[in-house]
Amino acid sequence: MTTRIGIVGCAGRMGQMLMRETLEGEGVSLAGGSEWSGSAALGRDIGELLGRGPLGQVVGGDARALFEASDVIIDFTTPAATLEHVALAAALGKPLVIGTTGLTPEQSARIDAAARSAAMVWAPNFSVGVNLLMALTRKVAATLDDSYDIEIVEMHHRHKVDAPSGTALGLGRAAAAGRQVALEEVWVKERDGQTGPRRSGSIGFATLRGGDVVGDHTVLFAAEGERLELTHKASSRAVFAKGAIRAARWAVGRPAGRYDMTDVLGLSA
């Protein structure tokens, strides 16, 4: 059966990529797309928005109507908008795939609460390769002791507004889980001036911004005499869209609950 996918925030860069991949994907169809009330894209034909011929579908402003017309919805928007969509998904019992980053712990808790009423797949990154990197990071961190310092380096385009990236934090959580510690207790996200020697067991982050970099992430395990580096580089946002669509198809028919890409890819075991 064809899975009808709705895209909220459809006029953004990721929203457009998600619509393209949905239109071109097998076993899926585009139920429609919606935008916020002040968007200049409202009322535009989706095909023309994407630079192709008219599709006869226009960008709507009624997210609830889109939810009702869809089997599953994908949300790569902003934290405030995502919380509105989470509430809609819970009220209607519709599965929701969330790629929004920069959420606070309180906002995350609200997603957890809403997931009692609907299936929600939330991941810091939907790339299959990145999720394999997270699994490897957890395994390596569990294998190597504290004599191996862990540093996470990420670089994104100049327009990214949150730092460290959600993916970098996800990698940090994977490393912390491997060492059976809470990331918040060991992370170091800033270094400036006379910082003193590195604290044993800490997990450091370095953030780079510039150009049009889609997303580069490296996890370094550095010890006396050797260094292990695990790296993933994304050259197109299409990898995130493909992974999100895979997650959307997987979510349809799942019981209510909070899921992530380890569940989608069968890596949770």
181 burial level (CB within 10 Å; 0-12, 13-18, 19+): middle
Supply 55's token pair.
Answer: 């599709």
Contact status, residue 152 vs residue 230, Cβ threshold 8 Å? no
78-107 per-residue burial string, b: 16 or more CB within 10 A, e: under 16:
beebbbbbbebbbeeebbbbbbbbebeeeb
Contact status, residue 214 vs residue 17, Cβ threshold 8 Å? no
CA dist 15 → 99, 134, 241 (Å): 11, 25, 9
Residues with catalytic roles: 156, 160
Residues 6 or more apart whose Cβ sits within 8 Å of residue 260: 121, 122, 123
| Ranges of H-type helices in 148-193 | 166-178, 183-186
User: In this structure, what DSSP letter does residue 6 have?
Assistant: E
